[in-house]
């Protein structure tokens, strides 16, 4: 391990002490307070961290240094890694969970003295401090997205959905497995398979919505139509809508292949363009994250206008564990995964629904289930890594491995949660809609 002593602690004065030239490894050790949980090597020949550490980072180009020092938070690391300037050791790129976990648990950056910071800047070189173009897989910065419309306008939402969901249906088949379900599963047992857990999630939603043969269901943000087909197999007339043209095409083929065309339909379009009303129930599984907090009132109001009196809404979405922080996502997630995504606490969601006239019947947190879901998606990506790289390219495949591993950590540590909120539209008399006194589904 390299060692470095802050020059500001020496007895010499600032005028007669020579300026220190620091290697990249020394700089990292200073910033990390000498506590590196992994092995670090750099293109200047320096190294730091435990020599026998099973996990490591290798900074292989000066461009990687520029990405690291000119980007805030996790964005710089992501840019350097996706561009190939930072290499990971001891983990598979399809699931770098163990390395991210080690960094999250042990790596805490400290603020060096002003003099040491000057030495760091001098050692890196001023030209490394000038921002450069990010990897092409990155979405446009927020200030440029306005060209596609105001935040959460129909046009801009369509662009954001296209960035993430229209990657490749083949790629998603490898990652998601046969269920083609890109939302949190619900594991009936610790040893349940991903497909079992996704089927169980659909069962849970179906039963919470009290659907029976002959009912009409609307599924907004329906993805590849998993919930639509689940309901149709049980005699429910189901209509789904998605902003992803790739998802809609795949879903319609799957509906036809299962012989469900007389009961099920998936449309390409915005949920706000659904003209029908009188649905018995609405499922919204993974859509609210893309709506925007300021649009919650309109969202819940619109869905209430589509449901008959006494009808139900199941809202399933990722949330924050509190209700005070800014909803907008930042850094890596906004730039590479969900442009314009917004997360807030379940309390703000429930308040907005109640203010729109919905009655809260039930809320539950499936946070731990999402960590398990991401674990299994990561395992699928590792299993099909070579095919995935051939399909979407190495940088995009690396984005997915990084995103899923990081998200798994966030769910495990309660950094984010997943809430299912069951709501009812009160009937015209303000009655109970005939709902049982206690939850009627099997938890």
Query: Residue 189 has what DSSP assignment?
Result: S
235, part of any domain: yes
- How many domains does the chain fold into? 2
| Locus of tokens 């509190």 | 322
Q: Are residues 187 and 125 in the same domain?
A: no
440, part of any domain: no
* Residue 211 CA neighbour count, 13 Å, CB half: 33
Measure the CA–CA gap between 326 and 253, rounded to whole angstroms.
40
**H or E, element range at 246:** helix 245-257
Among the listed residues 400, 373, 388, 395, the one whose alpha carbon sits nearest the alpha carbon of residue 170 = 388
335, part of any domain: yes
**H or E, element range at 307:** strand 307-319
How many Cβ atoms sit within 10 Å of the Cβ of residue 440? 10
Measure the CA–CA gap between 39 and 332, rounded to whole angstroms.
23
Q: Are residues 200 and 343 in the same domain?
A: yes
Q: Are residues 105 and 39 in the same domain?
A: yes
Q: Are residues 123 and 169 in the same domain?
A: no
Measure the CA–CA gap between 408 and 305, rounded to whole angstroms.
36
Q: Are residues 159 and 251 in the same domain?
A: yes
At 386, list the tokens. 């070579």
User: Is there a contact between 406 and 337 (Cβ–Cβ < 8 Å)?
Assistant: no
Q: Are residues 212 and 251 in the same domain?
A: yes
436, part of any domain: no
Q: Are residues 113 and 159 in the same domain?
A: no
Segment 356-390, tens digit of pLDDT = 999 999 999 999 999 999 999 999 999 999 999 99
| Kind of pairing between the strands at 237-242 and 216-220 | parallel
Ranges of the chain whose pLDDT falls below 50 = 1-16, 143, 145, 158, 160-164
Spatial CB neighbours of 118, under 8 Å, sequence gap ≥ 6: 19
Q: Are residues 256 and 386 in the same domain?
A: yes
182, part of any domain: yes
Q: What is the domain-level CATH number for residue 240? A: 3.40.50.150
Measure the CA–CA gap between 415 and 11, rounded to whole angstroms.
44
Segment 138-164, tens digit of pLDDT = 886 754 545 555 555 555 554 544 444
To the nearest 10 degrees (0 to 180), the angle between helices 296-306 and 346-355 is 50
Spatial CB neighbours of 255, under 8 Å, sequence gap ≥ 6: 225, 228, 229, 232, 261, 264, 265, 266
Q: Are residues 69 and 204 in the same domain?
A: no
Q: Are residues 114 and 247 in the same domain?
A: no
- For residue 151, the model assigns a pLDDT of 54
How many Cβ atoms sit within 10 Å of the Cβ of residue 111? 8
Distances (CA, A) of 204 to 53, 187, 420: 44, 11, 10
135, part of any domain: no
- For residue 10, the model assigns a pLDDT of 40
| Percent of the chain's residues with pLDDT above 70 | 89
Among the listed residues 100, 102, 104, the one whose alpha carbon sits nearest the alpha carbon of residue 86 = 100
User: Is there a contact between 315 and 353 (Cβ–Cβ < 8 Å)?
Assistant: yes
Query: Residue 260 has what DSSP assignment?
Result: -
User: Is there a contact between 281 and 215 (Cβ–Cβ < 8 Å)?
Assistant: yes
442, part of any domain: no
- For residue 20, the model assigns a pLDDT of 74
Q: Range of 33's domain? A: 7-129
Measure the CA–CA gap between 76 and 78, rounded to whole angstroms.
5
Question: Residue 23: exposed, middle, or buried by beta-carbon count in 10 A (0-12, 13-18, 19+)?
Answer: middle
206, part of any domain: yes
Q: Are residues 230 and 342 in the same domain?
A: yes
Q: Are residues 339 and 222 in the same domain?
A: yes
pTM value is 0.89
- For residue 153, the model assigns a pLDDT of 54
Strands (E), 332-380: 359-365
* Residues 46-77 as b or e (16 or more Cβ within 10 Å = b): bbbbeeeeebbbbbeebbbbbbbbbbeebbbb
């Amino acid at each position: 391990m390299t060692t470095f002593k802050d020059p500001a602690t020496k007895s010499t004065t600032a005028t007669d002490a020579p300026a220190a030239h620091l290697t990249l490894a020394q700089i990292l050790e200073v910033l990390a307070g000498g506590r590196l949980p992994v092995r670090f090597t750099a293109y200047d020949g320096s190294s730091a961290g435990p020599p026998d550490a099973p996990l490591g980072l290798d900074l292989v180009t000066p461009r990687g240094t520029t990405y690291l020092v000119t980007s805030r938070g996790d964005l710089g690391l992501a840019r350097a890694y996706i561009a190939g300037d930072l290499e990971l050791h001891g983990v598979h790129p399809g699931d770098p969970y163990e390395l991210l976990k080690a960094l999250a648990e042990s790596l805490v950056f400290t603020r060096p003295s002003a003099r040491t910071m000057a030495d760091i800047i001098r050692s890196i070189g001023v030209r490394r401090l000038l921002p450069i173009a990010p990897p092409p897989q990155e979405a446009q910065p927020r200030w440029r997205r306005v060209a596609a419309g105001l935040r959460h306008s129909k046009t801009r939402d369509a662009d954001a959905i296209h960035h993430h969901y229209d990657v490749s249906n083949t790629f998603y088949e490898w990652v998601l497995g046969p269920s083609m379900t890109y939302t949190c599963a619900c594991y009936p047992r610790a040893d349940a398979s991903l497909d079992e857990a996704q089927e169980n999630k659909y069962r849970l939603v179906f039963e919470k919505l009290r659907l029976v043969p002959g009912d009409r269901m609307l599924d907004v943000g329906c993805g590849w139509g998993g919930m639509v087909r689940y309901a149709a197999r049980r005699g429910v007339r189901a209509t789904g809508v998605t902003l992803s043209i790739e998802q809609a095409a795949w879903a319609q083929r799957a509906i036809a292949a299962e012989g469900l065309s007389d009961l099920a339909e998936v449309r390409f379009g915005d949920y706000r363009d659904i003209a029908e009303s009188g649905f018995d129930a609405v499922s919204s599984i993974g859509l609210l994250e893309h709506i925007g907090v300021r649009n919650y009132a309109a969202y819940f109001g619109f869905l209430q206008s589509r449901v008959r009196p006494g009808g139900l809404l199941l809202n399933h979405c990722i949330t924050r564990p509190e209700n005070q922080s800014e909803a907008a996502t930042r850094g890596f997630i906004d730039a590479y995964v969900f442009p314009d995504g917004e997360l807030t606490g379940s309390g703000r969601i429930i308040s907005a629904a109640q203010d729109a006239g919905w009655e809260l019947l039930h809320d539950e947190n499936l946070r731990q289930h999402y960590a398990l879901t991401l674990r299994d998606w990561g395992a699928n990506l590792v299993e099909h890594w070579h095919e995935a790289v051939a399909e979407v390219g190495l940088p995009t495949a690396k984005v997915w491995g990084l995103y899923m591993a990081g998200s798994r950590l966030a769910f495990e540590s309660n950094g984010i949660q997943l809430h299912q909120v069951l709501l009812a539209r009160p009937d015209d008399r303000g009655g109970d809609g005939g709902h049982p006194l206690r939850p009627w589904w099997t938890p």
